[in-house]
Structure 1
Amino acid sequence: MSTLTNLKRPRPPQPPFSPPATSPTLGQLLKNVGDVIREATGNGSETPVHQGLELGSTNLEVPRSIPFVLSFKKLTYSVKVRRKFKFPAILPSRNIHRLGAATDTDPVGGESLFTTTKTLLNDISGEARDGEILAVLGASGSGKSTLIDALANRIAKGSLKGTKTLNGEVLESRMLKVISAYVMQDDLLFPMLTVEETLMFAAEFRLPRSLSKSKKRLRVQALIEQLGLKNAAKTVIGDEGHRGVSGGERRRVSIGIDIIHDPIILFLDEPTSGLDSTSAFMVVKVLQRIAQSGSIVIMSVHQPSYRILGLLDRLIFLSRGHTVYSGSPMNLPVYFSDFGHPIPENENRTEFALDLIRELEGSPGGTRSLVEFNKSWQDLKHSRNGGSEPDRGGLSLKEAISASISKGKLVSGATNNDAISPNSMVPTFANPVWIEMAVLSKRSFLNSRRMPELFGIRLGAVMVTGFILATMFWQLDNSPKGVQERLGFFAFAMSTTFYTCADALPVFLQERYIFMRETAYNAYRRSSYVLSHGLVVLPSLIFLSLAFSATTFWAVGLDGGLSGFLFYFLIIFASFWAGSSFVTFLSGVVPHVMLGYTIVVAILAYFLLFSGFFINRDRIPDYWIWFHYLSLVKYPYEAVLLNEFQDPAKCFVRGVQIFDQSPLGEVPTSLKLQLLESMSNTLGTKITSSTCLTTGADILQQQGITDLSKWNCLWVTVAWGFLFRILFYISLLFGSKNKRR
């Protein structure tokens, strides 16, 4: 009675499938999918949104079952790895030809003295059908996740060999993105959003814009019921510092995000990893319901329990990239009995199979015998079936997707009114750029509002820095000493605005994998994320700029009155904008926070060094002058100097003050007056104690600030910010493909 056969429920017989007599184009169907209505049935009940989408008038006779078969043949994937030299290094490893061993490599072209080619997938073939769960099993390093990535098109083009077809037609990358979803192994979620909010934002991204807000909310509520998350709907996701939902609930939320649009194909990388047996069973039970709704579900799993095995329809066992079994769980006893290793009656079949595979991997012959036996087994099974292809009801892929959408599959972008060409059957994105920006901005504001301590810490840092500078440079006068102290204040104030922007570095690094997951399957455009990110930071930058400006301007005694203050505020804001954009760009190219902080501190130090404060432009060597013009600190520093010293009527050095910064500064005033008289006689110009000797223009000339006006310096600083935002977009465009090489 312990056999698994009793746990398997046969699928109910389906009526024969007949293709539609007159099939509308897929574009026509897609344009009507968004017109969802909840109509009363004959008994007065209502049809939930997740069960069906009513179309307008079409000539398509919707069948009860739309068959989908995803087939893959001879998938092979290899990577180059560094050789591990052993003494003597020129001798090959004795185990290099042992199939299934850890050192297994296939000598493919491209090897060198320092690299070798390791085959991660080797001629993997199989198929997955709608209504079923295909599970890929194997020990760690067997190639489970690699196979899932290969099927989900997460391996760079040209690196993967073999064919993938859906209903016999080659499955192109763009089409796969639209009709499928991929659930990562890690639960990448915003910690301060509730379960309901997380799924609602996913609905805003993935469901067509023609669906009203209320209908999207109905879809979310139905999905919450389907996932068994009703009791946790109002609970935040949580993280290390905030208590939230359980691990199993987090995993079901992750699945819900990617099935909100009811994809035709669902890929999952070890969805039960890290869960207890009960939570793992509930997750797979949810996946079974998703499959029975007409989806193809393909998942990797390390070692399923007895109860989970009863929910699986097809299995593929891998060993070091080779297939050692492919078929139904019910055939495992016969398979291993024919192989000469019968499964004991009361033992978990998958545990036995995995233990045997590990034992063979450690043997001198490896798993070669089991691989060859599987090939013979598959050939025999194929010959018994007559080599016939599975019945697909005579539908082409386009017709099958059309019929599937008409049944209620909420394919992303289904209501885009653009014409759909034969080469591009479905729109890429569900919403236009402005809607994506609005949803992204709303989510960012909501997440930030629930973590006010982050902005509070940044505001506190700016206020404390401003207070220290204000007290250190309190009410500077117009003496030569006051001029020097002003220069120092401006240099440190401008560099401070850039250094305090370094806290923006972890923001995208923390969101990076969420961003990669969402954009991998076209939840929104990268350009929408960059534009939204730039808009979201503006309010906080304005507030920080106002706080810093108000703290320092009048306390230091800067010149210009209200107009001077307004420009001072604008240049502080521009500095924050440029610094934030610079750090945001770095967050798109550095791999982790500590490296990013190191780079930020080093580069900003160079910016300050070449800004013109420590060494004037005229004294910078020609081979370093380019760094002077690339310095982000240079332009705001020059702008505040121009703002302070632009008044030609203001004098900073009069008469005897000329001696204050020289060794004669301590001599009696009478002697200074005598020296002035001697200087007057020599120069032929009368110089008295009230004669203005240095104006603001003279100070600017001494500092080498003659190229740009203060407004031009402001615009250059703002332009730097936009340039780094563009570079951030480029880094996302080429650096976040989330594909294996």
Structure 2
Amino acid sequence: MSVTMDSQSHSDSIETSKAPQHDAFAIDIEQKVVDDAHLMNDTVKDYLWKGVTVTVKDHKTGEPKAILENVDGIVKAGEICALMGPSGCGKTTLLNVLAHRDAATGAKVEGKTFVNGNEPSTSVFRRMTSYVEQEDALIGSLTVRETMHFAARLAHKNSLTKTGRIRRIDALLGSFGLKNQAHNIIGTPIRKGISGGQKRRLSVASQLITAPKILFLDEPTSGLDSAASWEVISFVKEVAKKNNLIVIASIHQPSTSTFQLFDRLLLLSGGKPHYFGSVEGVEGHFGSLGYPMPIHTNPAEFILELMNIDFASHSAAAEARLDEIQQGWVESTGAKQLTGEMDAASKDVEPLPVTKPSKRSFFIVLMTLVHRSFIKSYRDVVAYGIRIAMYMGLAIMMGLVWLRLKTNQEDIIPLTNAIFFGGAFMSFMAVAYVPSYLEDRATFVKERANGLYGASAFMLSNFIIGLPYLFLISVLFSTVAYWLSNFRPTAVAFFTWIMWLFLDLVAAESLVVLMSSIFPNFVVALALTAFANGLWMSVDGFMVQPGILNVFWKYVFHYIDYQSYVFQGMMVNEFADRVYNCDADCHCMYVSELAPQCQIAGTAVLDQYGYKTGKTGLWVGILLAIVLGYRLLGLGVLMLRK
């Protein structure tokens, strides 16, 4: 088939097993562990690819442009293969093709891949593989053990019992040298956690919890020093050897010791293969082409310098040299041996490993995500702690600025201003949720790509976990600001105010989720969310009353402005049942039926804005519809942006 890309309790999470420790993530066969045996009985003997070619449309010429051209290779069980070459040579593109992921936008992919001589469907293939991204998309407030625990619970092979899951987690932590860090947090911008090398090892270990047959690593040593790089690759190699795991990793410029850990090497330049074979055979091959390797030289650096022509002073000569090396590989004994090995493997067809589709219910996945988010929410102060402190500071400031307003007519405008400030600026400050959501989104993108769950489970769990915190913020803010400012002093009015503020924050956070889903960049998401809230402030009816608001802004934006319904609701809550005193000479700012008594009915203030009473249910319904709209749009964006 052508390669085509298809675009428990909290205590359990920190439980320490008393089960025996193992050197590898597979359960020892001698133990006859029933709940794990079926996962490890079948192995993948080899994975090969033939004639992989990827072309895209050149933006300048409009002609097809090859990113990869006729790339072959084979990796056997227990081997670890490096994809290496200069920047832009097609390493990541090839890795994505081999992992049955999208190669590039608008790319045409040709070629075939075989597992045990079979061409598995994309769904079957993904159930037997795992992919580790270049960036560590880990939740910083979780511990190492909790990260492994949730990876196991979300895995599509979740038929493990609790005991089996703990045993496997312990075995992986031991295999990757993370046992002593099991109860350390990953690390947040505020709290220091484990080292960079330990994070990379954890990223790999969390994917191995599913017992994959083939593991893809995108730049696993990126950002690490030579010692940490060697650590990561050596742990991967040990696990691969002991468990007949196939590992394919793109890598940039490894040290000599790291380079020698790989069993096979695929060398790319300009999208073409220039060598495929054992790492030990590199020196002999290039020596036979007239490029002997100097002594005391890092072989990886040597061959990368040969492959890289970006900085060559004589580009024509460098290109000619590269063509000569590529032709030398095509005509080499190694290329002929590769062809023979691939032909033999293609004919030696064996059944594919047994991989059953996920039997997890949506509810189980959802509750697992909510549980994980709950731990993050109370442990990571960036998520809600800082926001609570910020909102409390805003409440104290508001209460002291609008301190003890009276029921005189000169206090009507300050009361109106306070209502606007309390609703509008509370929603504006929801931009503080951007970094926390972007971290969650990065984790979701990684886990969705590995087939753990979909966008709907992520979006719903994100919505659920925010509700109690937003309600808490609403209560805390209102308890301070409402009574200091002396809004209508009744229990019904107070709790109605809390309701409006809560809906305001829910809508504001949903707007943050939508903007950050469309533009998953901190600065861009922050700027656009702030701009959107500025727009909503301008047209919500306070700055310019709805009756005189320009028809364009009124009919295009005002009626879909969640802040406008919050402002209306708070205004009605304050003025519908309250009476204000005119000045000493009985001059009344607002004309009402109480003018003969030197008083102003609060409904007269509402009349100036065109607000009617008795529409609370309608406004709440519209607000909920806006929240639902934001969330559905955000869900649509996540589903489309794969």
- TM-score in terms of structure 2 length: 0.86
Amino acid at match of 1:321: G
Q: Residues 117 and 346 of structure 2 are in contact (CA less than 8 Å); yes or no, is this contact kept in structure 1?
A: no
Amino acid at match of 1:224: L
Amino acid at match of 1:389: A
Kindly provide the CA deviation profile for residues 468-503 of structure 1, in whole angstroms up to 9, marking residues without a partner as x: 322333333333323322222211211022112111
Indicate the SS of the match to 2:344. coil
Indicate the SS of the match to 2:136. coil
Asked if 1:270 is matched to 2:219, the reply is yes
2:559 maps to 629
Q: 1:81 to 1:514 in 2, by over 3 A?
A: farther
2:85 maps to 138
Which stretch has the larger CA shift, 509-518 or 148-157? 148-157
Report the Cα distance in structure 1 between the residues aligned to 2:146 and 2:419, rounded to whole angstroms: 45
Deviation at 1:221, TM superposition (A): 0.2
Indicate the SS of the match to 1:287. helix
Deviation at 1:443, TM superposition (A): 2.0
Q: How does 1:132-531 map to 2 (within 5 A)?
A: 132-155=79-102, 159-206=108-155, 208-239=157-188, 241-292=190-241, 293-343=243-293, 348-358=298-308, 362=315, 363-377=318-332, 381-382=336-337, 385=340, 388-390=343-345, 394-395=349-350, 399-402=351-354, 426-427=356-357, 429=358, 431-452=360-381, 455-531=384-460
Amino acid at match of 1:583: V
Q: 1:477 to 1:127 in 2, by over 3 A?
A: same
1:727 maps to 633
1:695 maps to 601
Report the Cα distance in structure 2 between the residues aligned to 1:391 and 1:202, rounded to whole angstroms: 34
Match of 1:122 among 59, 69, 77: 69
Deviation at 1:256, TM superposition (A): 0.4
Asked if 1:543 is matched to 2:472, the reply is yes
Q: Residues 24 and 174 of structure 2 are in contact (CA less than 8 Å); yes or no, is this contact kept in structure 1?
A: no
Amino acid at match of 1:74: G
Deviation at 1:535, TM superposition (A): 1.4
Q: 1:475 to 1:239 in 2, by over 3 A?
A: closer
Report the Cα distance in structure 2 between the residues aligned to 1:554 and 1:642, rounded to whole angstroms: 18
1:679 maps to none
Match of 2:519 among 574, 578, 590: 590
Amino acid at match of 1:400: L
Report the Cα distance in structure 2 between the residues aligned to 1:518 and 1:654, rounded to whole angstroms: 64
Deviation at 1:725, TM superposition (A): 1.7
| Structure 2: stretches of 5+ with no match in the other structure | 1-16
Q: Residues 506 and 587 of structure 1 are in contact (CA less than 8 Å); yes or no, is this contact kept in structure 2?
A: no
Indicate the SS of the match to 1:169. coil
Q: Residues 639 and 713 of structure 1 are in contact (CA less than 8 Å); yes or no, is this contact kept in structure 2?
A: yes
Deviation at 1:591, TM superposition (A): 3.5
Q: 1:563 to 1:347 in 2, by over 3 A?
A: closer
Q: Residues 303 and 351 of structure 1 are in contact (CA less than 8 Å); yes or no, is this contact kept in structure 2?
A: yes
Report the Cα distance in structure 2 between the residues aligned to 1:163 and 1:136, rounded to whole angstroms: 18
Deviation at 1:441, TM superposition (A): 2.1
Q: 1:386 to 1:242 in 2, by over 3 A?
A: closer
Amino acid at match of 2:282: L
Deviation at 1:255, TM superposition (A): 0.7
Deviation at 1:346, TM superposition (A): 6.4
Report the Cα distance in structure 1 between the residues aligned to 2:38 and 2:147, rounded to whole angstroms: 36
Amino acid at match of 1:401: P
Which stretch has the larger CA shift, 586-595 or 631-640? 586-595
Which stretch has the larger CA shift, 632-641 or 130-139? 130-139
Indicate the SS of the match to 2:331. helix
Q: 1:364 to 1:724 in 2, by over 3 A?
A: closer
| Structure 1: stretches of 5+ with no match in the other structure | 1-37, 84-110, 403-410, 412-425, 663-675, 677-684
Q: How does 1:615-626 map to 2 (within 5 A)?
A: 615-626=544-555
Kindly provide the CA deviation profile for residues 190-243 of structure 1, in whole angstroms up to 9, marking residues without a partner as x: 223222222122112116444222321111001111112222222222255433
Which stretch has the larger CA shift, 121-130 or 537-546? 121-130
Report the Cα distance in structure 2 between the residues aligned to 1:190 and 1:686, rounded to whole angstroms: 61
Report the Cα distance in structure 2 between the residues aligned to 1:346 and 1:475, rounded to whole angstroms: 80
Indicate the SS of the match to 2:518. coil
Deviation at 1:65, TM superposition (A): 7.5
1:642 maps to 572
Amino acid at match of 1:228: G
Deviation at 1:118, TM superposition (A): 4.4
Report the Cα distance in structure 1 between the residues aligned to 2:50 and 2:251, rounded to whole angstroms: 21
Report the Cα distance in structure 1 between the residues aligned to 2:38 and 2:200, rounded to whole angstroms: 38
Amino acid at match of 2:570: V
Deviation at 1:261, TM superposition (A): 0.9
Q: Residues 277 and 334 of structure 2 are in contact (CA less than 8 Å); yes or no, is this contact kept in structure 1?
A: no
> How many matched pairs?
613
Q: 1:657 to 1:725 in 2, by over 3 A?
A: farther
- TM-score in terms of structure 1 length: 0.75
Kindly provide the CA deviation profile for residues 257-316 of structure 1, in whole angstroms up to 9, marking residues without a partner as x: 111111111001122333343433332222223322122110122234444444322211
User: Percent of pairs identical after alignment?
Assistant: 26
Q: 1:65 to 1:339 in 2, by over 3 A?
A: farther
Q: 1:451 to 1:379 in 2, by over 3 A?
A: closer
CA-based RMSD of the aligned residues comes to 3.5
Deviation at 1:155, TM superposition (A): 2.0
Kindly provide the CA deviation profile for residues 670-697 of structure 1, in whole angstroms up to 9, marking residues without a partner as x: xxxxxx9xxxxxxxx99985266x4333
Which stretch has the larger CA shift, 439-448 or 630-639? 439-448
